[in-house]
Amino acid sequence: DAGITQSPRHKVTETGTPVTLRCHQTENHRYMYWYRQDPGHGLRLIHYSYGVKDTDKGEVSDGYSVSRSKTEDFLLTLESATSSQTSVYFCAISEDRGTGYGYTFGSGTRLTVV
């Protein structure tokens, strides 16, 4: 999607290893979000950021941490990956907190924990 990129696109990692996913935006949007998508659960919010160094938990934050040291980058870290964290991870950005212009989503990162 224009203005937002996620890396890597695919990753296979072993249980217990740390993993960091990156979301990079060129839109200068204030708000950034990490979601995970699993069959039967739709998209669930993991963490979000409302500014540089300002982050908060979503509905499924256990086992994840985030950092935002620059407006354009929002990192999602799995400190010790588990098989239950096998999922597709989507980053999203928005100019405001949810109303107005809506969210723009990245193309996703498919993470497999073996």
Partner 1 sequence: DAKTTQPPSMDCAEGRAANLPCNHSTISGNEYVYWYRQIHSQGPQYIIHGLKNNETNEMASLIITEDRKSSTLILPHATLRDTAVYYCIAISSGTYKYIFGTGTRLKVLA
Nearer of residues 14 and 102 to partner 1, judged by Cβ: 102
Question: Which one-letter amino acid corresponds to residue 49?
Answer: S
38 binds partner 1 (CB under 8 A): no
Question: Which one-letter amino acid corresponds to residue 99?
Answer: T
> Which residues in the 3-32 window bind partner 1 by CB under 8 A?
31
Rounded CA-CA distance 85/78 in Å is: 8
106 binds partner 1 (CB under 8 A): yes
CA-to-CA separations, 92 to 27, 81, 89, 105, in angstroms, rounded: 11, 22, 10, 4
Nearer of residues 54 and 79 to partner 1, judged by Cβ: 54
Nearer of residues 33 and 64 to partner 1, judged by Cβ: 33
The correct pick among 34, 48, 64, 74 for binding partner 1 (CB under 8 A) is: 48
Burial of 40 (0-12, 13-18, 19+ CB in 10 A): exposed
The correct pick among 8, 18, 51, 102 for binding partner 1 (CB under 8 A) is: 102
**Unique residue bearing structure tokens 């949810």:** 98
Residues that bind partner 1 (CB under 8 A): 1, 31, 33, 40-45, 48, 50, 56, 58-59, 88, 90, 92, 97-99, 101-108, 110
